[in-house]
Structure formats: C-alpha cells, structure tokens
Amino acid sequence: MIPQWQPGIVHKIEHVTPNNRRYWIQLPETPVFDFKPGQFVTLDLPISEQRNKRWRSYSIASAPAGNNIIELIITHVEGGAGTDFIFNVLHEGSTVQLRGPQGVFQLPAVLDKDLFLICTGTGIAPFRSMVDHIYNQKIEHKNIYLIFGTRTKADLLYYNEMKDLENRMPGFHYLPTLSRETWEGATGYVHALYERLCVDHQPATFMLCGWKEMIQEAEKRIEQSGYDKKNIITELYG
C-alpha cells in the first residue's frame, strides 16, 4: 500500500557545505513516523504541472526515534529544478507535501555476516540511519565497514559523528576515502578498500548506495572476487 501524502514542516536547516544541507522535517499529522532504516520519502515540489516531474525522493538520514521528525541530507544539483527550489525557496517553517516511507533497501534480518556499507555522496544517508539504529537498539552484529567515497575532506558528510561512533561501537569501522585530495586518510576510490578487506573471502553482505557508475563497478568487482550476486543489495541515486 502506497502511503498517503501529508504536510511536512521544515523544522530546521543546517548548511553543511556550499552544496549540502541537512533538513529536519516534522510531520504534524503523524505522532510517530514509523520507518525502517534505509527507506526514503518523496517530496511533491511545486515546480511543474506534471506530477511525476514534481517528485523528488530522498533517503531518510536519521534513525527511527519514536517521534515525527526525520532528517534528510540534500545536495544541490546545478540547474536542477528540485534542488533549486529546496535550496532557494524552502526555509525553516515552510510546508512541503511528503509521502512515505517507501523502499526495500533495508538491513538483513540477521547480521550474522560481515556487513559492507559502500557509498558515495549523499548515499551515506541510509547507512547513517542503519548504523545508528544498530547502535541504539544494541543489535548483535559482526564487523560493519562503512566505506564512504567523496572528492575532498570538505565533502565528508557526518565525518566527526562517524568517527565518534567508531570509538563507541565495537565492530564498527568508518573508512572514508578521497578521490581528489591527499589527506591523513585513504585516497582513491571505494573499490580498493573493500577488496583489501575481503581478501580472505569471509562471509559478507554488501550494500551499495550512490551513483550508478560506482554501483555497477562494485557489483562487477564483488562478483568477480567470488561472492554471489544474492549477497549484494543496491540503491541507485541519479
């Protein structure tokens, strides 16, 4: 059953980088917004007369908290009608029509294998929701590797938060890598990191979220290394 549209109030906005903002949206008609980590919501923006040209979907970046406020992390796309409206028109107190939750990009029912969460850009959003949920609910798990690829250190969304969680959560490993900048951490693309960690071919589940090119390359490499396609779960952005 497809959820009904409902109003959402922009509760708070935080400017993270020149091209990324965090939006907290409150749903006054829903006392508790119940969703599974990894799911998304769709916004209906007044940018076209055609319904399907007005809709923009974003993964929920916050973990379920028993309330009616969710967080989205949104990147401005140059010339994109949707993000132009979100960045230039929406402000704290604005109302936007919202539908959700939807989507089947969700954690395995049992975390009995190493879990690789591989993402680029705002693809970190569903994984932030997942790892916070695992931590908050004290869910048993094997090793969890959050591998996050982006261009520069300034683009590392939730960097301090993930480093702090790594210190507090046994078995959680935060592994950011930069493709356009040299720094104290890893450089290059995400693929070298999971390939190095899987050299012994341990039982593992791979969840991929980000741009199509990264996902296609990762799927090919993971299968070529000997893992079955059923161990790969994807969520495509763009």
DSSP symbol at 34: -
Angle, CA 120 vertex, CA 224 and CA 146 arms, to 5°: 75
What pLDDT, on the 0 to 100 scale, is given for residue 123? 95
What pLDDT, on the 0 to 100 scale, is given for residue 2? 81
Distance CA 89, CA 46 (A): 11
- What mean pLDDT value characterizes the chain? 96
CA 17 to chain centre: 17
Residue range 130-146: average pLDDT? Answer: 98
Domains of the chain: 6-102 (2.40.30.10), 114-237 (3.40.50.80)
Enclosing H/E stretch for 197 = helix 191-197
Residue 81 has pLDDT above 60, yes or no: yes
Residue range 203-213: average pLDDT? Answer: 95
Residue 76 has pLDDT above 80, yes or no: yes
Enclosing H/E stretch for 116 = strand 114-120
What pLDDT, on the 0 to 100 scale, is given for residue 113? 97
pTM of the model: 0.96
Residue 184 has pLDDT above 80, yes or no: yes
Residue 238 has pLDDT above 70, yes or no: no
Share of the chain above pLDDT 70, in %: 100
Structure-block tokens of residue 231: 């161990």
Residue range 10-24: average pLDDT? Answer: 95
Nearest to 102 by CA among 58, 57, 39, 43: 39
